[in-house]
Structure 1
Amino acid sequence: MRADIKDGVIRRVVVGAYEFVATVPADKAGEVEKHFTALAELGVRFDIKRIDDAKIEKFIRELTDKQRRILEHFRDSDEVSMDDLRGDVGDLRGPIAGLNTKARREGLVGENEQALEPDVEKGVYRLNPKMRVVVERLVRGK
């Protein structure tokens, strides 16, 4: 296992030919490795669907300014406060609905999935793990 660590956070885990996006504190690297090893010992094999770079680039190109700003909030975390997002972009319903529609259309998330999943009880939006690669590309592309 290889882990890419930035600012004290594991950003990417590579196990053999498979790459996983992560946002795990660096001090948990041993625990992450232990779990991957245990899965491998059980016979679990990973079949990761690679997302076509062209689809990611098209998705990013078609983002509105508000959608881009929303996704940038997920640069360092998989959960972002609804209040923080509202404070930055105002009304969230339209931009987030558009994000979800675009992500489904490009095959970045499944037909019954959302790019950003609301947790009203906690007052946060959660980034669908499949969208982490998109956020990383968006942030890196600036």
Structure 2
Amino acid sequence: MLQRILQTDRAKTTILIRLMVGAVFLSEGIQKYLFPDTRGAGRFEKIGLPSPEFLADFVGAFEANCAVLILFGFLTRLASVPLIIIMLVALYTTKLDILYKDGLWEMLHASRTDWAMLLGSLFLLIKGGGYWSVDKKLTNGA
């Protein structure tokens, strides 16, 4: 099972997706602690999520920790799963209202980063960490 999670291809360009996804999620996770009123619990409370203090810390920790794993390419597939869930919840809780109030084009504009992070995370789930990853080294380049 672990071998399957670590399995990756030999693509050298996957590091670009890892750097993008990892850097953005690391930044967002840290910001939930640095700016709790606008990026963390305050934002979660504003959009009506339950237990906003706990949830903001929980999500921020997952974002930051999974981002670090992805940046190193360690357990890349496994680390991408919580990030996919986070992005699906973010789209549901923050962008559906825009769709209903302002229409499709405004929602697509407002959610462009969300879609990029969701699709980048899905890519990593499918492909793994790529050539320059700890996952690759642990599987002896197989």
User: TM-score, normalised to structure 2's length?
Assistant: 0.27
**Larger relative CO (CA 8 A, sep 6+): 1 or 2?**
2
Q: Which protein is richer in helix relative to its size?
A: 2
